[in-house]
Every structure is written in C-alpha cells, then in structure tokens.
Amino acid sequence: MRVVLLGTAAGGGFPRWNCACARCAAARDGKLPARTPECAAVTGNSRDWWLLNTSPDIRAQLTAASALWPGPRHTPVRGVLLTDAEADHLAGLAVLRETAGLKTYAAPEVLGALGPAQVALDRHAPWEWADSLAEGGFVLAGGLVVTAHPVTGEPPAYVPGRARDGRWVTAYRIEDLATGGVLVYAPRVRSWTPMLDDLVAAADCVVLDGTHFAADEAARAGRHLPVSGPAGSLTALTRHPHARRIYTHLADTNPLLDPASAARAQVSEAGAEVLPDGAEFVL
C-alpha cells in the first residue's frame, strides 16, 4: 500500500490567507514550509488511487504528485473517502466534477448534507455515492479493504439543526490484502476513545489529527483532541510504539509547524512524526 500526504494543514492552509501571525509571516518569507489543506491518497497496486478527503487545493495537490497524473485517456483517481462534511474536505469535489464513474464513500449524515451538491455534480458526470458505514466494510479497486468507524465529532456549522448522533465524523481503517499492512486515517478526532485505541493497536501506521498542540487551545476550539498534555493524543500514542505515528491537519497556531520548535522535539522524542506535503510512504 502506498500513501501520499497531499496536504497536511488545517482549513485555510499554511500560511492562512487572512493571518499575519509570526508563523504565517515566516511561511510567506520562505522560513517555514508552506502547507496545503489536509488530504491524502492511497493505492494498493499503484494504478488505482483513492483520495482521503478533497481539499480546496486538490488540483494543485494532484499536479504535485506525479503518481496521480492522468494518462492519455484516463485518471488513476477512482474515487473519494470522506471523513466528515467540513467544507475543507468537500470543496475539491467540484474540481473533480467532469470525471465520470468516480465513487464517493461517506457516512449517511455526510451524504445527506451533500444532497444538493450530489445533484449538481451528477449533472456534469454521473458518480456513485456509497455509505461508508455499511456493515462489513467495502473493497476498493487495487486490493484495499476498508472499514469506517465513527469517532466523536460535530456536524459542520452550515448544517441546519446540527443534530449530534455520533456519526458525523469517521476514521478509516484501510488494509492491503496483499501485504496485510493496515493504515488508520483519522484527521479529525475530538477525544481518544477505546474504539480508537483498538484501531491504533492493530495498525501499522496511523495518520492522526494534530490540529492543536496545547490542551488549552484545543479546549477553546472544542473540536479537536490536543497533541500534548496528560489527556492528549501523544500520551495515548506512546502505548502503541509498534505503529508509525504521523500528525496531520496542523492549524496555523500549532508550533509543530516549526521544525526547530520545542513542540516538534517533544513529538519526535515520543516517536511520532510531522511530515511535509507530498510525503509518501509504503505499508
């Protein structure tokens, strides 16, 4: 299984267009690496690629990843697996609109929120829309078996009523049938649960929500599990040293964006990683 981290920043990317903080200024000056909004791609055979979310910058992200370049008559992108209904994870669907036959997996609540967009996209080229939480999971072209698992989270602000039922945000477990390699992709997590702990325990690699480093900032935002602190994800990840542990979805306020920061040193000492956009690895 090949995995490409197409983007690793939180919504708005890094530097964020409307922010003049010290980190964003450093990124504009080329002193810190710029990042595009979180998105990834995965394949089991190097021919059939599946996107994990679709960021607003998906065109540039695909252009930067030569493995996903189209051939004379086709694209290797077969479809999309959505973790939630946030705009930064859906906006790229519009860029893909003229490709017929793409298949999009998402939880029923997310598909419901996409209703008007589905109609518009299907008028450009018919797509398939599938329930990612269907019992037993599903098999992707290329030899990947996927199960989706609800994790704690809230619906996006644009959803009327914003009813919480625990299925608005999902993590994906992706297994390569040929090698047995297992990836857990969970870029948005509000709290560490026994279910998530079990997923990581059986994984070879986990790509996890790293939006906020400090617990106080995460508490103010109220939507993401912090990296640091006794109840943070880094403490939980130390229980699983066998797995490769990678943080993604980094907010512009996160000191992990700076390779020379004490926060980055702390994460590295714990055996976790912060990789740049375009990083590729194999399981």
Token code pair at residue 41: 């791609």
155: confidence class by pLDDT, cuts 50, 70, 90: confident
Determine the Cα angle at 197 with ends 239 and 134, to 5°.
155
221: confidence class by pLDDT, cuts 50, 70, 90: low
pLDDT on residue 165: 64
pLDDT on residue 164: 64
Question: What is this structure's pTM?
Answer: 0.96
pLDDT on residue 160: 77
Q: Are 39 and 6 in contact (CB under 8 A)?
A: yes
Judge whether residue 163 has pLDDT over 80.
no
Judge whether residue 4 has pLDDT over 90.
yes
Burial label for 215, CB within 10 Å (0-12, 13-18, 19+), is middle
217: confidence class by pLDDT, cuts 50, 70, 90: confident
The C-alpha atoms of residue 275 and residue 7 are separated, in whole angstroms, by 10
Closest CA to 183 of 271, 280, 86: 280
pLDDT on residue 74: 87
Mean pLDDT along residues 122-133: 93
Q: Are 256 and 270 in contact (CB under 8 A)?
A: no
Give the neighbor-by-neighbor strand order of the sheet with 49-52. 128-131, 103-106, 77-81, 49-52, 39-43, 2-7, 280-282
DSSP string, 161-192: S----S-SEEEEEEEETTT--EEEEES--SS-
One-letter-per-residue 3-state SS of 228-268: CCCCCHHHHHCCCCCCEEEEECECCCCHHHCCCCHHHHHHH
Q: Are 118 and 124 in contact (CB under 8 A)?
A: no
152: confidence class by pLDDT, cuts 50, 70, 90: confident
Mean pLDDT along residues 216-233: 84
Mean pLDDT along residues 26-32: 97
The C-alpha atoms of residue 211 and residue 11 are separated, in whole angstroms, by 10
Per-residue pLDDT tens over the stretch 40-73: 999 999 999 999 999 999 999 999 999 999 988 7
β-pairing, 128-131 vs 103-106, is: parallel
β-pairing, 144-151 vs 138-140, is: antiparallel
The C-alpha atoms of residue 14 and residue 17 are separated, in whole angstroms, by 8
**Taking the CA atoms of the chain, what radius of gyration do you get in angstroms?**
18
Closest CA to 144 of 235, 47, 273: 47
pLDDT on residue 157: 85
Judge whether residue 279 has pLDDT over 80.
yes
β-pairing, 103-106 vs 77-81, is: parallel
pLDDT on residue 153: 81
Determine the Cα angle at 163 with ends 218 and 116, to 5°.
105
The mean-pLDDT minimum among 96-105, 172-181, 204-213 falls in: 96-105
